[in-house]
Amino acid sequence: MAKVSSRWIAGGTAVLTFLLYWLTMPRDLTWQASSGDGGELITAAVTLGVPHPPGYPTYVLLGKLVSFLPVEPVAYRFHLFSALCVAGAAGLLTATARQLGPAASDNRSPLLASVPGLLFAFSPLVWHQAVVAEVYGLNLLLVAAFLWALLGERPSLLTGFLLGLSFTTHLTSLFLVPLALLLTARQMWGRLATGAALGAVPYLLLPLLAQSGSPVVWSDPTTLAGWWWLVSGKIYQPNQFGLPLAQFWPRLRSWLPEFGLQLGIGGWGILVWYGRSLQQKKWWGLGGTAVLYLIYAFFYNTQDAIVLTLPAWLIVSLCLIPLIPRLGSWGLLLPPLAVLLHLGGQTGANIHNIRLQAETILETAPSGAILITSGDPDIFTLWYFHHVEENREDIILVDDQLFAFDWYRDRLQHLQPTLRALEEDNLSLFKTVNAAQHAICQVQLLPESALNCLQDME
């Protein structure tokens, strides 16, 4: 009976979380919550391509299935996918709390086991990412599944498989390896490693995905060097611990309020005190893993690096388990309080009017024009409207930053055989040579739609 009850509590946590996410998510493509990669990820999934490093093969394959959902527009389907993933993570956290915590034997208040999962789900950073098309929701689901298996002492092969699968959704999941080794008996390490290798198999599918006709294929994963460049995230390695010293204090000042909100609900600051009631090895392993995530994210040199802290908050939420019996029935008030405090900022508004701006550019572009973008958000967004929603199939999209890569120009040549001057990184020559057949237009989505075209009149 207790097992059935646990399933219902975990399931209820997931359903409640998903419903609240659904009420607050944007219904169209958006850039809110640093989700400018959404257009690229959706396009890669729909066309079975290879998005930016490390390629996210599991997201692409599952995203292809998501793309068949009978709701419009396509971007909305992927917002729903993120919400389902994070809601599932909240349910798994509840199941973990129910099986591990003191509340597991306290049938007087079984609902208290839902508190850690709900507080995690309703924390600001998690909620932001749960309602947009991004990879973090799927990563959180697999991290939660791994912790459920590891802390529940389930078969090492299963635990390793979930660990390896999490690698394919975000490379920061490598920080979970020390925890896995710490809490797995040494004689089981072989099975753990075997499971991890099996879980990472989707990375071997990248060469097959690169054979598709997708416009989104980073690198050339059909070669060993190109595959490793992609999977290792080599292009982003300079960002690791690359935060300039001058940005240390500004980042600290901007992140502290965010961290305060993440930890403030339920008095999470005292969990260190109550954490002593966990087994020491388990407590230090969980705490140390969360710290690894936080340190890595803090010194990662990108504007949206704070999203890399998300698995840390998932792990920290588990540390509420020893606090559960001390909360009593009052603990059930904490999740509604979290919702009330944060719901005001979750409007679901498409604050950038992306559809209006993209369609304005596409509708006014000359027939057969080459539209040249400059940077990720613009090219990713236009990829979505052009290739997923099949808007203006006559135009050609080229990004001036991606143009520097040989593999990108090779992909353009493969998709557009009539284009010339793609042998070298010379955008000026490319414009000049192709201007006789195409209008060349420089485009920009923000701060407002801009389309500046030159037509060779020869």
CB 385 within 8 A of CB 42: no
Give pLDDT, residue 447.
77
What is the rounded CA–CA span in Å between residue 227 and residue 207?
8
CA distance 423 to 406: 8
pLDDT in tens, 43-91: 999 999 999 999 999 999 999 999 999 999 999 999 999 999 999 999 9
pLDDT band at 279 (very low <50, low <70, confident <90, very high): low
Provide the CB-side half-sphere exposure for 154 (13 A, CA): 19
Determine the residue type at 142.
L
Quickly state the pLDDT bin for 271 (edges 50, 70, 90): low
Identify the H or E element spanning 113.
none
CA proximity to 378, closest of 441, 287, 456:
441
pLDDT tens, 190-225?
A: 999 999 999 999 999 999 999 988 999 999 999 999
Q: How confident is the model at residue 36 (pLDDT cuts 50, 70, 90)?
A: confident
Rounded to whole angstroms, how far apart are CA atoms 12 and 168?
Answer: 28
pLDDT for res 105: 43
Angle at 85 between CA 324 and CA 288, to 5 degrees: 50
Q: Which of 91-95, 188-192, 341-345, 451-455 is least confident?
A: 341-345
Tell me, what's the pLDDT at 382?
95
Phi/psi at 399 (5° precision)? -105, 130
Residue 294 above 60 pLDDT? yes
Answer positive or negative: Cα dihedral of 445, 446, 448, 451: negative
Residue-wise pLDDT for 161-188, tens only, equals: 999 999 999 999 999 999 999 999 999 9
% of the chain exceeding 90 in pLDDT: 68
Q: According to the model, what pLDDT value does residue 277 have?
A: 52
Residue 373: phi and psi, rounded to 5, are -100, 175
CA separation for the pair 195, 304 (Å, rounded): 32
The strand pair at 370-373 and 396-399 is best described as: parallel
Backbone dihedral angles phi then psi of residue 250, each to the nearest 5 degrees: -60, -40
* Predicted confidence (pLDDT) per residue in 91-118, tens digit: 999 999 888 765 444 444 678 888 889 9
Is 325's pLDDT higher than 80? no
- pLDDT value at residue 129: 94
Ramachandran bin of 34, using left for φ above 0, alpha for ψ from -120 to 50, beta for the remaining angles: left
**Does 455 have pLDDT greater than 70?**
no
Report the chain's terminal Cα–Cα distance, integer Å: 82
Q: Among 2, 64, 71, 76, which residue's Cα sits nearest to residue 38?
A: 76
pLDDT score recorded for residue 345: 54
Question: Is residue 349 pLDDT above 60, yes or no?
Answer: no
**Where do the DSSP E strands lie in 11-66?**
none
Whether the per-residue pLDDT at 269 is higher than 70: the answer is no
Q: What's the whole-number mean pLDDT along residues 142-152?
A: 96
CA distance 266 to 277: 18
Structural contact between residues 166 and 142, judged by C-beta atoms closer than 8 angstroms: yes
What's residue 189's pLDDT?
A: 95
Per-residue pLDDT reduced to its tens digit, 362-410 = 999 999 999 999 988 899 999 999 999 999 999 999 999 999 999 999 9
pLDDT of residue 263: 60
